[in-house]
Amino acid sequence: MDIERIHTPVMLQRTLELLAPALEQRGAVMVDATLGMGGHTAAFLERFPELTVIGLDRDTDALAIARERLAKFGDRARFVHTVYDGIARAVRSEGFTEVQGVLFDLGVSSLQLDRAERGFAYSKDAPLDMRMDFTKGRTAADVIAESSEDELKRIFLDYGEEKLAARYARAIVRAREDAPITRSAELVAVIQAATPVAVQRQGHPAKRVFQALRIEVNEELSVLERAMPAALDSIAVGGRIVVLAYQSLEDRIVKRVLQAASSSSAPAGLPVELPEHRPQWKLLVRGAELASESEQAENPRAKPVRLRAAERVRRPS
């Protein structure tokens, strides 16, 4: 496998630039909460010769590839098989109480998209799996088979923001009465048959449904809701966090958490802000940054990315 060819880390130089002030100190520790195939981590370990990176991933295939790719860095590269809401336990398990940097590169990885047998891509026929950790949990086929019409509608609406959620849920329930829907091509066929021609011209009709199923199978939004506060709690004063989000649902969670962390907790009407109410974090970028036009042209997976970053300026008294 040519890892360099199939995996180009998104906004790599910008993440290096934003995290550098926190990682240049001697003995710095960073958590790559979404290790994947280790592209970001490899660059950080090369750039900062005394840095230790704790890489987290729920995908055992990705961990195996990252272990091989990062072996040259010895014990400066640590590996933990966990979902990223387990960040606090992972840091403690490696013998640290706090870290200087955290990176989240959210969403589905290049490895998962490019391996057809994982079932993430609507453009490739494969078993409807979609589990990021394929050693446990329900598959997308299970969700399709076991969910009621109302549950499917909710999943497609809440996690895919799909306007035709009700129509697709109804079509799937009818189709599965004739035969189980167990492969991606079977699901795509059902969705296409239920999609008005005018809508089909606006893009692939299965895109949002597949996104919604992936989020449901992997509990991505609820995991992120737990992971963001846990990550912030793990970061030392002067430490930094960078988050790359690829769809609006993830980005809203990140935005909300970082805005709350960087806001004063003083009750309205106080004439003077007391020290204990001052923000614990400051935002490092205004709003969400996009990848440059040149990067988007070179790496299509960078097109939807939204980057947010913050620095811890104090801990509670």
- The pLDDT of residue 315 is 87
The answer to whether 251 is annotated as binding is: no
Residue 236, pLDDT above cutoff 70: yes
How confident is the prediction for the chain on average, in pLDDT? 91
For residue 3, what pLDDT is reported?
53
On whether 133 is known to bind a ligand per the annotation, the reply is no
Residue 112, marked binder: yes
- State residue 96's pLDDT score: 97
- pLDDT of 56 reads 97
Q: Where in the chain is the domain with CATH 3.40.50.150?
A: 3-111+220-312
Q: Which of the four CATH numbers 3.40.50.150, 3.20.20.70, 3.20.20.370, 3.40.50.2300 does domain 3-111+220-312 have? A: 3.40.50.150
**Has 39 been labeled as part of a binding site?**
yes
**Residue 246 is assigned to a ligand binding site:** no
- Output 160-168 pairs: Cβ under 8 A, ≥24 positions apart: 160/208, 160/209, 160/211, 160/212, 160/215, 161/208, 161/248, 161/249, 162/208, 162/209, 162/212, 164/194, 164/195, 164/199, 164/205, 167/194, 167/195, 168/194, 168/209
105 known member of a binding site: yes
Structural element, H or E, at residue 3? helix 3-6
Kindly report the CATH number that applies to the domain delimited by 117-218: 1.10.150.170
| pLDDT tens-digit map of 1-16 | 555 555 689 999 999 9
CATH 1.10.150.170 domain extents, the chain? 117-218
User: What pLDDT band is residue 108 in, cutting at 50, 70 and 90?
Assistant: confident
Q: pLDDT for 245-300, tens place per residue?
A: 999 999 999 999 999 999 876 666 666 666 666 889 999 999 999 999 999 999 88
The candidate with the shortest Cα–Cα distance to 188, out of 208, 202, 163, 218, is: 208
pTM above the 0.85 mark? yes
Q: Is 84 annotated as a binding residue?
A: yes
SS3 283: strand
